[in-house]
Amino acid sequence: IASQGLYCRSDEKYMVTRKRITIDGKVVTSASQKADVDKNEILLDGKPFVVKKQIYLMLHKPKGYVSATEDKKQQTVLELIPAELKGRDIFPAGRLDKDTEGFLLITDDGALAHKLLSPRYHVDKTYHVTAAGKVTDDDLKQLEEGVDIGEKALTLPAKAEMIVSGSDISEVLLTIQEGKFHQVKRM
């Protein structure tokens, strides 16, 4: 019940002590008791407890939209979602700059978003970077060792793979595990 975000754990404990929750007809005696919403009948105050299904949308963010839930001056990625999902507590799980396009996960699953975005979970994020000028093997090596982008510490080591190395434009696949402000551009 607490995992649905409708009640906090202390509310759930209160309901358990008041014998307000049953699973398959048996009164729940521990707030840590688990149940499967697809297999068990869960009642709260004698009424079925309705579990909300979480939302996961894969969005190809075009250029010109900001990765935010609201912005008074600019269009947000939430303006691109289907009308029937508007009004739900969904948000972009990550950020792409306004002038950047690519995959963006839109969800209401805060726990998943945290695991995807927190550097401590080491989730790879890959970017197809187009850079002005020639990117050299030494540049790739530097990206893989960590780069000074003006913060206290170097960036974490990245994976960098050359796609096109031209004199005017180069293309690199850059995989990072952090998400610092404008990190890929700064690198």
CA 121/CA 49 separation, integer angstroms: 33
Q: Which of 45, 97, 109, 148 is catalytic?
A: 97
Maximum separation of any 2 CA atoms in the chain, in Å: 73
- Specify whether 45 is catalytic: no
Beta bridge partners of 60: 103
Q: Which string of b and e fits 95-125 if b means at least 16 CB within 10 Å?
A: bbeeebeeebbbbbbeeebeebbeeeeeeeb
Which of 84, 74, 109 has the alpha carbon at shortest distance from 94? 109
Contact 159, 174 (CB under 8 A): yes
Which of 183, 172, 117 has the alpha carbon at shortest distance from 150? 183
Beta bridge partners of 48: 43
Exposed/middle/buried for residue 86 (C-beta within 10 Å: 0-12, 13-18, 19+): exposed
Q: Could you list the active site residues?
A: 97
